[in-house]
Amino acid sequence: MVSESDSVPNIGQLVRILKGRDADRLGVIVGILDGRFVLVADGDKRKFDRAKRKNLSHLELLDFTSPEVVKSILETGRVTNGKLRYAVAKFSDEKVIALKKGDQVDG
């Protein structure tokens, strides 16, 4: 697992929410407010227009960044909720495939 303190968040990076009402849900970073807070949306429950401000210490930064989300935000300054849902689903599907191949260590 990547330590939250020595990792820098990026636009389009997937995160697992650790605290709050949305705990254990996946989201995508759609904005960086400062060194401590980011905006997170998932395109489903939390839309881009109403992205949630989250403390970085309440998030687990995953090492997956959606190129579609990054490209859209850099070009237009926003992203569609469909692209956010696609990014979360793509990561979830890849994780399931990796588990089926036996990449996870039992322990």
- In the prediction, which pLDDT does 93 show? 84
Q: Which phi and psi (to 5°) does residue 64 adopt?
A: -140, 125
Model pTM? 0.84
Task: Report the distance separating Cα 95 and Cα 107, nearest Å.
Answer: 18
Task: Report the distance separating Cα 31 and Cα 10, nearest Å.
Answer: 8
- In the prediction, which pLDDT does 105 show? 55
Segment 63-94, tens digit of pLDDT? 999 999 999 999 999 999 999 999 999 998 88
Task: Report the distance separating Cα 50 and Cα 92, nearest Å.
Answer: 23
Task: Report the distance separating Cα 102 and Cα 104, nearest Å.
Answer: 5
Q: Which phi and psi (to 5°) does residue 45 adopt?
A: -75, -35
Question: Could you tell me the domains of the chain?
Answer: 13-101 (2.30.30.30)
2 confidence band (pLDDT: 50, 70, 90): very low
98 confidence band (pLDDT: 50, 70, 90): confident
Q: Which phi and psi (to 5°) does residue 10 adopt?
A: -125, 150
List CB contacts of 53: < 8 A, sequence separation 6 or more.
33, 37, 38, 39
Is the pLDDT assigned to residue 100 strictly greater than 90? no
Segment 8-43, tens digit of pLDDT? 899 999 999 999 999 999 999 999 999 899 999 999
